[in-house]
Each structure stands twice: as structure tokens, then as C-alpha cells.
Structure 1
Amino acid sequence: MAVRTNPTGRQLRLGAELRKLRERAGLTSTAAAQLLGMKQAQVSNMETGRIGVSAERVRSLACQYECSDKALVEAIARMVGDRKRGWWEEYREILPSSLLDLAELEHHAQSLRTTITARIPGLLQTVDYAREIFRQGVTALSPPDVEHRLSFRIKRQAVLFRDDPTPYEAIIHEAALRMKVGGSAVARQQLQHLLSMSERDHITLRAITFDVGAYPGSGQSIYYAHGPVPELDTVHLDQSHGLTFLDADAQLHKYRTLFERVEAVALDPDKTRDLIGNVIHDL
């Protein structure tokens, strides 16, 4: 089997989950190779996403590792997926691979939630608002690069409009609502779009007001993608050095708890819509 040179984020995660199954069984990669009748290099390549595995192989590995969590094993087996290329692959030579991994993560997520302070979440941005965000990035982008990123962001939003849309929750600070990105006209259109999107059954929009003051995680932008089982959840952080994906059990627990604490200080959806209406009136 050919060895991949650039495995995708989902392929890397599949390999990581196979490694976790082995480690929970208390086996080294060398011991696992002996148990499975494989070379140690094959085990390592599977666990780094450098070679593919079938769903049957995943189930066989889980059996050999004596994993009794059938829900987890089947969820990992489904990660093998089909061989069709996602729409994001057309951007592989154009955009950073981490952005493609993000789109793939969103495509497969059971639900998504985010908390953000300084801007409107990407999946809820209008074209004009998003274009201005890209123009004002830390790294200057050429006009073609801005348009590539813009078209990519708009295509990502399809998860909210498909026949079986992904449940989505966004907690947005009042600062982001009041920031006049692109000027008053662009900001007004963006807020009106938020109101429209908040009326959809699968979208929950909540705001944190200035009156709350400091709160857990304030200043961070956190994106949480729910997998088919909690062990396959993923946290995405958009930081100055690039995108970071977290999936260790302790990290997932930390950010689940953080979201619970942030939700506790946020307005309910109706009061959030009232706040947005007031901000529109003030523009």
C-alpha cells in the first residue's frame, strides 16, 4: 500500500484514535505489531494516517486490543468513509491545508458550537463582512488570495443550508456585534443576516453583554465540533500562529466545561435578538 505524504486532518485523527485504542490496551507499537502479525512500521504508519485502513481492519484492531466500547469502535470505523473527494479538495494547492481540515471537520460534525469575542463567526458572515475581515488580516493578502478565502468561507456555510443541516450554536460578545466592520452599511447588513439566521430551528444565537464583565474564556475564540461519540469531539482554536486542533480527553473535558460556564452568563436567544435589534437601531 502506498504511503501518504500529506494525510488530511481526518486521516490523522483516525490514526490517532487507533493509537489511543492500542495505548489503552497497554501495548507498545512493537508489541501490537507482534500481536497483529504486522511490521512495526505498518502499525506506526496506520497511527500517523500515512496508510489507509478499512472499516473491517478497524474492527479487527479493536477486537485484538480488547476494546468493548462498541459505539466508539463503530464511530471510528465510519471515519474510514468513502473515497470521494470533498469540495474543499479543489483548494488544496491554493489555501493552507489546515483550512481544508476545518471544512472537512465541519462537514462531518454532528453539531457545532462556538464562542467568539471580536468578530462574527465565519459560518454566519455575509460576503461583504467576510471580505473586509480578510482584507484586515495580520498577514496582508493579495486581492486574488482574499477572493479565494472568501469563496472558501462561503462554501463552508453550506453545512447550515443542506437538507439535513448541522445544529449550530454561537455565543457572540456584544463587542463583535457593535464593531462596524466595513462601515455602518456592511455592519447593518451583517446584523440583519444574524437575525435572519437566528430564526432557523437548527441555529441558536446567544450574546454576552458588556455588563457581564470578565467571564471564563473571555478573549478566546473557541470552536467545538461534536463527533458521533464524545471521544471523537474536536476543539478548534484560531490563533495568531495558525489553526490548532485539540482532541485529547483532558482538553475536550476542559472546553466542554468552559462552554457550560460561558453559556451560564449569556443572554437567551430572544433577548439576544432584542440586543441585535437595538444595535441595528444605533447604527
Structure 2
Amino acid sequence: MTREGSVRPNAAPTLRQQRLGSELRKLREQSGLTSTAAAELLGLKQAQISGIESGRYAVSADRVRTLARAYSCDDPALVEALAAMTGGRSRGWWDEYREYLPVGLIDLAELEYRAVELRVSLSLHIPALLQTSDHARAMLREAVPPFRPYELEHRLSYRIKRQGALHRSTPLPYRALIHEAALRMRYGGPDVARSQLAHLLELSEQDNITVRVIPFTSTHFPGNGQSFDYAVGPVPKLDTVQLDTHHGGCEFLDAEAQLAKYRTVLEQMESCALEPAESRRMIERLMQSL
């Protein structure tokens, strides 16, 4: 290496480290440089460039700026956002769950923690960050195959800790689009459902949380009812879409065309959702009917 400590190996790159590498690869490709040409220009080996772009090597902020300059990147906001993603793996509360949960869930927690804003769309479930522990436990008990008792407890405590993103000193802006069908589901029975709706109402009064309901009476439902999370990054190019998979994991999308598609879906869904005040009135009526 040209500077000691500017590049060092990552044993198991996180989603964040992989994303940094992929964004540097995009910049290189847009500049028209091959990895071999980039290595020669920077006095590195081609394998080192490949290691950086795969996330297998952690790089310094100065190294990122040097790469961006070599790639003729003229977007200073993007460069500084990438520089802020550098360094080795910083430990967060989610690291204590690495032994117990799929890696995608660990990456999801870090993604939420580092997001500038979260936008979510749910058709049949209350958003995880807005669930009560009783509601979450009732949902987790529906897993196929069922979780062992200790697995369920790990999943439950993990889900509740994720909610801390909404209550930190600088609260995360959170916009939730929830279909009326999700509000009518009675996971855990009427008492649990009533408490969940009351909790949702209380959270919707927070300045950083917006809850809007898509009613059954809506004449259209964009996105075919697909549920997803949209994590807003420091610049639009660093946004991320998270989809749940049928086997209980997470899929992350970050191609510009994919991000544009899901932004459009969110805008269209918002166009058929009730305003926040009217949404709260509907939640209140549903809660009183239980």
C-alpha cells in the first residue's frame, strides 16, 4: 500500500462496507477506467482495487477522496458521504445478535440506524418499529417452522431494540403507509390488537413519525400491495430499498433504476392514503370497535 493503514482487510464485510465498495466501482466504471488502469494510476495492484470494490478491504476517508478524484467525480456531496462510510466495522448494539440472527437482519438494523429518514409501506402488518412487544411476540409465533423459545426471545429483543432509532436524541424521521387490512388483523387476540392500535396512535403524535392509512375504499393500490422499507441516505444515490424474503431474510436494492421505481411507488401510494389526522381518526374507530 502507498500509505500504511489506508487499506486493511475486512474478514466479513457488512452491507455498509459492500455498498461503499460498489459505489466506488460505479465511479470507476463511469470514468471509463478498468480496474487494472485504476491500479496503475494510483500505484496499487489490481487485486487491491478489486478488494476495495468488494468491501473486503476497509479504506480511509483520504483514500476514498483520492479514488474519487482519480475517477473525475464532480459530486462533492457524494464524495463526502462515501468518505463518512469508511473505516473498519464500528460496533453497534446489533453486533451482539450476530451469533443468533441471519446476517441480513444485522445489516437491516445498521441500515436503519444510519439512515437519514425511513419510509415504509405495509399491507398486512404493523411496521416493526411501531409494534408493541405483545404484538411482535404474537407475530413471531406464526413463523414457519416455529422458532424455538430462545430463538423467539432473540428475535423479539432484536425487534424492540431496533425501535430505538425513533427515540434517540436526534429522532429519525419516519413515514409509514399502512393499509387498513393491517390495522384490522388481530394478532394475539382483541386485547393485544387494541393495545397495538393505541400504541400506534400515541406514536403517530410524535413530531418525527407520520402514519397514513390506505383505506379499503381507495380506488387504486400502487405496487400490488408489496411491503418494503425505503432508507434515505445522506445523498439520493445512497438510498436503499429493503424487501423481506419468503425464507425470513432480507433483500437490499440500490440500483438507481430500482430506487427511482420505489420512490414513484411511494409517491403514488401517498396519493391514495388518508391524511395523518384522518388516519388517526380511523385508527381510533377501529380500536373502539374491538
Matched, 1:185 2:191: yes
Q: CA deviation at 1:213?
A: 4.6
Aligned counterpart, 1:136 = 142
SS in structure 2 at match of 1:99: helix
Matched, 1:9 2:15: yes
- Greater CA deviation, 267-276 or 77-86? 77-86
Equivalent pairs counted in the alignment come to: 283
Alpha carbons 1:4, 1:49 under 8 Å: kept: yes
Within the candidate set 213, 221, 226, 1:215 is matched to 221
Within the candidate set 74, 85, 96, 1:90 is matched to 96
- Greater CA deviation, 1-10 or 267-276? 1-10
Output the amino acid matched with 2:257: A
Alpha carbons 2:180, 2:214 under 8 Å: kept: yes
Q: CA deviation at 1:82?
A: 6.8
Output the amino acid matched with 2:129: L
Matched, 1:244 2:256: no
Deviation per CA, 1:49-81: give whole Å up to 9, x if none: 101100000000000111111010001101115
Q: CA deviation at 1:135?
A: 0.8
SS in structure 1 at match of 2:223: coil
Separation (CA, whole Å) in 1 of partners of 2:205 and 2:8: 48
Within the candidate set 261, 284, 288, 1:277 is matched to 284
Change in Cα spacing, 1:147 to 1:21, as seen in structure 2 (3 Å) is: same
Separation (CA, whole Å) in 2 of partners of 1:81 and 1:64: 20
Alpha carbons 1:117, 1:218 under 8 Å: kept: no
Output the amino acid matched with 1:10: R
Separation (CA, whole Å) in 1 of partners of 2:170 and 2:229: 21
Output the amino acid matched with 1:137: A
Output the amino acid matched with 1:204: T
SS in structure 1 at match of 2:226: coil
Matched, 1:101 2:107: yes
Change in Cα spacing, 1:166 to 1:243, as seen in structure 2 (3 Å) is: same
Aligned counterpart, 1:74 = 80
Within the candidate set 175, 183, 194, 2:181 is matched to 175
Within the candidate set 90, 95, 118, 1:112 is matched to 118
SS in structure 1 at match of 2:229: strand
Output the amino acid matched with 1:263: E
Separation (CA, whole Å) in 1 of partners of 2:244 and 2:145: 14
Q: Which runs of 4+ in 1 moved over 3 A?
A: 81-84
**Structure 1 length normalisation: TM-score?**
0.97
Matched, 1:57 2:63: yes
Aligned counterpart, 1:203 = 209
Deviation per CA, 1:21-76: give whole Å up to 9, x if none: 11111112112111111111111110011011000000000001111110100011
Q: CA deviation at 1:281?
A: 1.2
Alpha carbons 2:8, 2:59 under 8 Å: kept: no
Separation (CA, whole Å) in 2 of partners of 1:75 and 1:235: 18
Separation (CA, whole Å) in 2 of partners of 1:80 and 1:156: 23
Q: CA RMSD in A?
A: 1.2
Deviation per CA, 1:141-178: give whole Å up to 9, x if none: 11110000000011000010001010000000000000
Aligned counterpart, 1:263 = 270
Change in Cα spacing, 1:252 to 1:94, as seen in structure 2 (3 Å) is: same
Q: CA deviation at 1:139?
A: 3.1
Output the amino acid matched with 2:253: L
The runs of 5 or more residues in structure 2 that have no matched partner are 1-6
Q: CA deviation at 1:239?
A: 2.0
Aligned counterpart, 1:18 = 24
Change in Cα spacing, 1:116 to 1:36, as seen in structure 2 (3 Å) is: same
Change in Cα spacing, 1:81 to 1:273, as seen in structure 2 (3 Å) is: farther
Aligned counterpart, 1:48 = 54
The runs of 5 or more residues in structure 1 that have no matched partner are none
Matched, 1:158 2:175: no
Separation (CA, whole Å) in 2 of partners of 1:114 and 1:30: 41
- Greater CA deviation, 222-231 or 5-14? 5-14
Alpha carbons 2:118, 2:174 under 8 Å: kept: yes
Change in Cα spacing, 1:68 to 1:120, as seen in structure 2 (3 Å) is: same
